[in-house]
Amino acid sequence: MIEIMLVGVGSFIGGVLRFGLSTWVHRVLDNQWFPYGTLAVNALGCLLIGFLAGLAEARAAAFTSDVRLFIFVGILGGFTTFSSFALETFSLARDTQTVAALANIGLQLVFGLVAVWVGNVLAHAMGG
């Protein structure tokens, strides 16, 4: 039961953070044609998971199974938005915005992989 609570509370936190960041990015960029909010959320989520995974590798005692469940599955699972990415890409393609759909796929992939790598490098540079 505690595991369900950890994931549920973490998902709530991650979902609220995702909504806030995505809304803020769309407001700041005043952009209606490209899902920059989702891109920002996914890139930051990948950076955080890379960083925290790097720390967890070196500091296993600080990252108990409950802590990992709460952070990785709960918070970051609720924060990152792969399903939103998929729907937005589908909608762009359906609306014959093929270039934007392909750009979204490419940018999400590149930003995500680079962010995980940068996060991991930062964690190890900090002694993690």
One-character DSSP codes across 43-94: HHHHHHHHHHHHHHHH-GGGS-HHHHIIIIIIIHHHH--HHHHHHHHHHHHH
Q: What is the CA radius of gyration of the chain?
A: 16
Query: What global pTM score does this model have?
Result: 0.80
pLDDT of residue 128: 67
CB 118 within 8 A of CB 46: no
Q: Write down the domain spans for the chain.
A: 2-125
Show pLDDT as tens, one digit a residue, over the chain (128 residues).
Answer: 999 999 999 999 999 999 999 999 999 998 778 999 999 999 999 999 999 999 988 888 888 999 999 999 999 999 997 878 888 999 999 999 999 999 999 999 999 999 999 999 999 999 86
